[in-house]
Structure 1
């Protein structure tokens, strides 16, 4: 059985002491890479320290701030449904091109 989900990933590099803010419009999973990442979010009194490999679900519609004491990466993952695989789209495009060539090469019946 073929999965209709594909993983979209974004990577943000964090320099020591740098703070970046992110606004999300979709649900994502935040994963710390390389070093611990500090996360705080609007409307939440708690702060989160994610050790490398730890995950945090982020909610759409909230602003998040990320920082780290060492060089780190914040990886965002999101699973999205895909309607057609790239191979399926390519085969449909090729079939359309083939059909167009056949229409041009066939003499029109009068």
Structure 2
């Protein structure tokens, strides 16, 4: 019927080749239609510039301050800001300070991301 977890109860994971840490709330809660995760960044950390084949992504800044690149645009994101990015748009986040962001991708498609260096 439902699952519930506190974000801080989910152990952070280090992922090879990706600087921010991931609290894989989707792994814990097992939703069928979406892939949620909470990413934790140190000041200056960036994720890989990437896009998706099918997943659109919703970003919710939980704390801190980010610069987000979407294609050629640069967005200044602060706590409480929400952005939706379509699947085929190239994007990257860079933390301007220690920051935390909730990212929800849908549909729930495994290995859907395309990293820029892999083109």
How many equivalent residue pairs? 75
Structure 1: stretches of 5+ with no match in the other structure: 82-110
**Structure 2 length as normaliser, TM-score?**
0.53
Structure with the higher fraction of residues in helix conformation: 1
Structure with the higher fraction of residues in strand conformation: 2
Structure 2: stretches of 5+ with no match in the other structure: 1-31, 109-119
- Is 2:64 aligned against 1:35? yes
Question: How big is the alpha-carbon RMSD for the aligned residues of Structure 1 and Structure 2?
Answer: 2.2
Alignment of 1:1-110 (within 5 A): 7-21=34-48, 22-25=50-53, 26-42=55-71, 44=72, 46-78=73-105, 80=107
- Structure of greater relative contact order (alpha carbons < 8 Å, 6+ residues apart): 1
1:80 deviation in Å? 4.8
Name the larger-Rg structure. 1
